[in-house]
Structure 1
């Protein structure tokens, strides 16, 4: 007989990008749109997870969840991730009996629908949305038998930068352009700064389709705002203008950014080979880094 999983044995995603991808799949592909969540101190996690396990079937195996679903019972996931001394947590449920959508549930009054405008899941700079995106498709022409390409509008669950974050980034781009801060992308021990540094930092974000589109949008904004100021920057830096000629003060072309610096997100393992657990958070053992890690390929 398999050992029953204890609440504190639940695994923790190996980094923040894995966490975001995990939430996206649970809400999107698996349809667990009803949720509640919050932030608690590490010292309160043990008592809290014990209480949640008493209310909901969060320790059930994949096979047990399939059986529960066949009986019309709720499938509920508990996801937690530490950031500093705090723990971010989410309880995600489908529409089955005993879950968050069940009005007899203890937490039904605070549950939200991730699809609704006031119920989106937010984590740091990001918000999980059911968004429309433009995809390039190719089909074979029945007459010529040659491939024919076209753009198609599709809808999918994806993470995007919050409206407030996008506003701040746009203001940062405007400020850099107005002050002629061409800057540097950093690297080799040098700190990134100015317009180029800001753009390089944006490219290092986890490139979910929604985020990727926004990063491209910001690069285009930067290109349009910087272009009329490039010559002014060159006049202030004649040595660079003489050395780099036409490329002096230039930003990386958008086509190059798309081809080489914005790879599409691929699915990664959510948990490590020997995954950390909620028990590790409680005891203060080593847990995944709090920085967002971009994993593209």
Structure 2
């Protein structure tokens, strides 16, 4: 593959995180850089990166380069599904991974600075996920410290105020996060803190009976175990499946 239009798009944020986790922990892509390109120039940006670092070469060619101890680059574009809804869209985030530091790029080693990925929050791309070893030394994704703290403080505020409607909505949103083991542990911590603070003091009904917390059903709908990248579907079955398909749909729809 040498044509940017043939670049396969990932199906979701979870798929991108899973692919990055595999590349770092299993395949030795320990250098990283996050950059953005204007949406209307993303094809040109991908082409330029390929010309500089051969990020679009076939798997067999990658293996040959790695065996020869040459730098190998790998490019991951943010999934279309996480792009902001407004039109025109602002920029398109890209994660550049490599087995060695690529010339002309401002890359970081994961051992020196944990890989950090973004999500669209508060009308901007913000650092949201961080890839680092857990307590057992296994690579996994966590929420950034700032984002985790913000989610925890919001949940505790709703619980302290007895605002169960807002708390239910908040806990439901937490269940939609990419539940890799690090994120899973952080979300479970929020649940425990909420449960401890809320207790059942807000829940006595007029008959005097204690009721279950209103957010319990939402928590029961959370994934029952942490997300594993093994066997995860990475690519969509329906268009847009490639950058070229997205571009054609984008132009036909007038930027939709």
Specify the alignment match of 1:143 in structure 2: none
1:123 aligns with 2:95: no
Among 28, 36, 41, which residue is 1:39 paired with?
36
Q: Residue in 1 aligned with 2:211? A: 247
Q: Which moved more, 1:214-223 or 1:262-271?
A: 262-271
Q: 1:42 to 1:247 in 2, by over 3 A?
A: same
Query: Given the alignment of the two structures, is residue 221 of structure 1 paired with residue 193 of structure 2, yes or no?
Result: yes
Q: Contact conserved, 2:32 with 2:115, CA < 8 A, in 1? A: no
Worse overlay, 35-44 or 274-283:
274-283
* Comparing 272-281 and 37-46, the one that deviates more: 272-281
Q: 1:259-296 CA distances to partner (integer Å, 9 max, x unpaired)?
A: 9743331331211346722223433449xxxxxxxxxx
Deviations 1:222-265 (A, max 9, x none): 011111xx33452xxx43x55xx233546639xx9589743331
Correspondent of 1:111 among 88, 99, 107: 107
CA gap 1:260/1:161 in 2 versus in 1, 3 angstroms:
closer
User: Scaled by the length of structure 2, what TM-score is found?
Assistant: 0.80
Who is 1:200 aligned against? 172
Change beyond 3 A, Cα 1:258–1:232:
closer
**Of 136, 142, 146, which residue of structure 2 is paired with 1:160?**
142
Do the aligned partners of 1:8 and 1:49 also contact (CA within 8 Å) in 2? Answer: no
* Structure number, greater radius of gyration: 1
* Deviant stretches of 4+, over 4 Å: 248-251, 256-261
TM-score normalised by L of structure 1 = 0.70
Q: Secondary structure at the match of 1:247?
A: coil
- The 3 A distance-change label for structure 1 pair 258 and 116 is farther
Give the gaps of 5 or more residues in structure 1: 96-100, 134-153, 184-193, 287-297
Aligned residues: 233
Does the 8 Å contact 1:36/1:91 carry over to 2? yes
8 Å Cα contact 1:223-1:251 kept in structure 2 = no
Whole-angstrom distance in 2 between the partners of 1:200 and 1:61: 40
1:79, 1:215 → 2: CA distance? 26
